[in-house]
Amino acid sequence: QWITMAKNASGFHTDVILVATGLTFLKLLFSQLYYSTDFEVHRNWLAITHSLPLSKWYSENTSQWTLDYPPYFAYFEWSLSQLAALVDPGMLNVSNLNYASGATVMFQRVSVIVSDAALVAACLAIVSDVGGAASKSATRGGRGGVGAPALWTALLLLCNFGLLIVDHIHFQYNGMLTGLLIGSLLCIRRGHAKAGALLFAALLNFKHIYLYCAPALFVYLLRHYCIGRFSTGHLAVKLPAIGGSLSVARLASLGGIVLAVLATSLAPFAYHIPQLLSRLFPFKRGLCHAYWAPNFWTLYNCLDKLLEIVGCRLGLLTKQPGVGVMTGGLVEEFEHAVLPSIRPVHTFLLTALFLLPILYRTWSPVSGKPSRTLCIESAVLCAWTAYNFGWHVHEKAILLIIPLLILLMFESEFHARLALLVLPIGHFSLFPLLFTSYECWIKYSLFASYTLATAHAVSLEFPALLSAPSRLLPPCVIGLAPLLLASDWLLPQLLAPRLPFLPLMLTSLYCAVCLAWAYCTLLARFLLPVGAAKQKTG
């Protein structure tokens, strides 16, 4: 069996490379499509890092699209700018706002495609895990063959709908960052804690939104790598209360790795740290983005709006200027009309309140010892909690959650059913990013193809789900069809002049309700001892 699995892994490497090659041609076809203001954001960052001294990178404000990513990403932009100078020097002029020559567009598009090599490498690492539990489908009647779940996991990550439309049409670099995140988690799961810590520390210095996952990884590594039973002669501090010892060497090695990464990132900006931090953590942008991410605050805003409407109709409230204007589609601070207005400290406290039990279970899992899914489940729940309750969360932040669920989806029928709900709903929540007529048909076809491929993969590995089609594609996923008809076609025609934000609000609200249910389901399973015996340990 091991020989067969090794042969399959070798063949799967070829499959991943072939699919990645085919995807490259598809991405090149996307190069002349619509792109968002994020294209100008990154062009401006190329110009800033190439044309200005490092001391001015985080203070330059000729454009409204100022540099607000950590230094590693700034260094990445600088390295790209060295090549950009050979293609079209005009893109590197800080004053050339909204510069988009044909060469500039092609260069930036290709830079995203090439950076996806990190994601391809992560997918190759997944199919190399021939001994992993994700490769053992025979015991549950799976028909995909030995190792097929690992291949499906890699392909669903590689071809992910969200990454395709956000990176290669809308324009961002999420594929590269997702590759680093997956690489870090795979290293930790396979016992290579130092390599995992190095990759994750580097990732945080590329994009600080991955701080969402940091509490989970910190607690997991502290409890399950630094604390344990060590041989005589190993420098360790006994901790009788938890029945183990803290390895000073392991803790120091992980701490040293993180500090070394931070030093290489921040040392050049030692005299500009306050300015850098003010760019990384702006708290004056308001609770929600222009299009609400489908999280708890969408439900809160909608409830406040409903109470305001009812209150005004009943004569209990008087409409006040500047109050309850969160449906205007603007990025700004606002006051709620009925419910208490939210400030950054409130979102921080609520996030911390939900994180604490997750971190407790990460420290002390219900099965008594860590399962193979513990680290990833903890990471996805921490990221999802921050997504649900954080301040000014972007809709694109769902791309932190979806890849982690793909890593879990073939571990059990529960995870498969959860992914079949969250992936379509989460991807649908990204639809408003592409609103031009031509790109709309592309997103419809890609979404349908990816959703059906996901359902097919799950049906092969969990044939029992075929006995109940509603379990394969939940009713709320089927409900996306009438929602799409209403939000993209009917409402814009009927109510566009009076209520232009209504289609976006309905999309956000529908997705928020579905994702809230999924979050609570995963959270309950993680925290409660129900089904703990079914967890795979090792």
Count of structural domains within the chain: 1
Residue 135: pLDDT band with limits 50, 70, 90? very low
Residue 455 lies in a domain: no
Q: How far is CA 467 from the centre of its chain?
A: 32
The string of pLDDT tens digits covering residues 169-206 is: 999 999 999 999 999 999 999 999 999 999 999 999 99
DSSP string, 350-364: HHHHHHHHHHHHHHS
- The parent domain of residue 293 ranges over 288-329+336-341
The pLDDT of residue 323 is above 70: no
Mean pLDDT of 81-87: 98
Q: Which two tokens stand for residue 260?
A: 């070394």
User: Any residues with CB less than 8 A from the CB of 360 and at least 6 apart, and which?
Assistant: none
Residue 4: pLDDT band with limits 50, 70, 90? very low
Q: What is the pLDDT of residue 466?
A: 73
- Helical (H) or strand (E) element with 238: strand 236-239
Q: Which two tokens stand for residue 435?
A: 């609103």
Q: What is the pLDDT of residue 130?
A: 52
Q: Are 78 and 49 a contacting pair, CB within 8 Å?
A: yes
Of 36-45, 94-103, 121-130, the range with the lowest mean pLDDT is 121-130
The pLDDT of residue 366 is above 80: no
Residue 416 lies in a domain: no
Residue 308 lies in a domain: yes
Residue 348 lies in a domain: no
Residue 299 lies in a domain: yes
DSSP state of 341: P
Residue 322: pLDDT band with limits 50, 70, 90? low
The string of pLDDT tens digits covering residues 262-284 is: 999 999 999 999 999 999 988 77
Residue 293 lies in a domain: yes
Give the number of C-alpha atoms closer than 13 A to the C-alpha of residue 473, restricted to the C-beta side. 15
Distances 392 to 42, 142, 182, 342 between C-alpha atoms, Å:
21, 42, 25, 11
Residue 292 lies in a domain: yes
Q: What is the pLDDT of residue 537?
A: 33
Using alpha carbons, select from 355, 379, 412, 367 the residue that is nearest to residue 529.
367
Residue 319 lies in a domain: yes
CA distance 206 to 402: 19
